[in-house]
A = this chain, B = another copy of it.
Amino acid sequence: MKVAIAFLFALVLVLVSRSQDSSAKPQKRLEDLREKTILVFTPHPDDDVFGAGGTIALLNRNHNKVYIVVYTNDDKGSYDPDMNSQRLAQIRRAVQEVSEGMLGTPKENILWMGYDDGMLEYAAQPKLTEEATATIRRIRPDVLLSVDPGEWYERWHKSDHRMAAFNTIDAVRAAEFWLYFPNQKLQQGLQPYRVPEMYFFYPSAQEANYFVDIEKAADLKFDAALKQVSQFEPAVTKYRPDWDAKDYAKAKEELRAKQLRKDGHYVEAFRYATGFNQF
């Protein structure tokens, strides 16, 4: 009764209370998992770090196998008139490897889908879903992290974020049923797979229902984020590969100031879900 009932269940829930669903809880907390496989989908090579970097650090410390799927190459986000797209893509890949490396993710676990920055909305469909589906069926994660396809983000989700969010959740659904993209089974030998748990980063305040205490990894997270130097002033306006000390200190201070806190601790917020059509 999985399909139909899960669906009706969702319907009834919403008509009774949206908040009940928000109280859904994982059996074992994310930050306590060990030796599991974790698959993170990120629109750009930095959203993983900004949105869940502390959590990723904790997961790696706990000997989980973390994979990062990067949708786009981030080859446009510079104000520097002397920058070019090939060079920026190269830079963004290199610093992403350094940044994720600091969080404990090995370089070979970073999977690049290779789409151009800002153009994910226009990627061929359903090819994009097919590719993400193949990745899920191959990695077979115990837990999937992704940017939230939630309603509140519709406005600025437009473009890469929205597309990455929706596409990932579509791929989660497709991955379950082998008749979606059946050639993946018939020709590539990939079996269908049901993702058991999902945590969505960049949730709305109203929908965040799960908070990871990253107190012990916060400083590392800030340093890792700051490796993405081309995303920050002054390098975003006039590219330089490194920081001078003063700029670095100021930037780190700002990161600290902006990082969400709960009960006096740095936390990262998520929306937790166990099904692709779940509220």
Question: Which residues in A have some Cβ–Cβ distance to B below 8 Å?
Answer: 1-5, 7-12, 14-18, 46, 50-51, 73, 75-79, 81, 83-90, 93, 112, 114-119, 121-122, 124-127, 149-152, 154-156, 158-159, 166, 169-170, 173-174, 176-184, 186-188, 192, 202, 204-205, 208, 225, 228, 231-233, 236-237, 251, 254-255, 258-260, 269, 276-279
Give Cα A81 to B192, complex, Å: 9
Tell me if B15 and A180 are in contact (CB < 8 A): no
Tell me if A277 and B156 are in contact (CB < 8 A): yes
Measured between beta carbons, the chain B residues less than 8 angstroms from A279 are 155-156
Give Cα A251 to B193, complex, Å: 25
Tell me if A233 and B2 are in contact (CB < 8 A): yes
Question: Would you give 11 A-B contacts (Cβ < 8 Å), ordered by A?
Answer: A3-B77, A3-B231, A5-B255, A12-B259, A15-B269, A18-B205, A77-B179, A86-B182, A88-B179, A93-B186, A155-B169
Q: What is the copy number of this chain in the assembly?
A: 6
The chain B residue with its CB closest to the CB of A86 is B84
Measured between beta carbons, the chain B residues less than 8 angstroms from A204 are 14
Tell me if A152 and B14 are in contact (CB < 8 A): yes
Tell me if B121 and A125 are in contact (CB < 8 A): yes
Give Cα A89 to B154, complex, Å: 32
Give Cα A242 to B118, complex, Å: 36
Choose among B84, B112, B260 the residue that contacts A85 (Cβ–Cβ < 8 A): B84
Measured between beta carbons, the chain B residues less than 8 angstroms from A156 are 10, 276-279
Give Cα A136 to B241, complex, Å: 31
Measured between beta carbons, the chain B residues less than 8 angstroms from A236 are 1-4
Taking each of A8, A81, A188, which has the highest tally of chain B beta carbons within 10 Å of its own beta carbon? A8
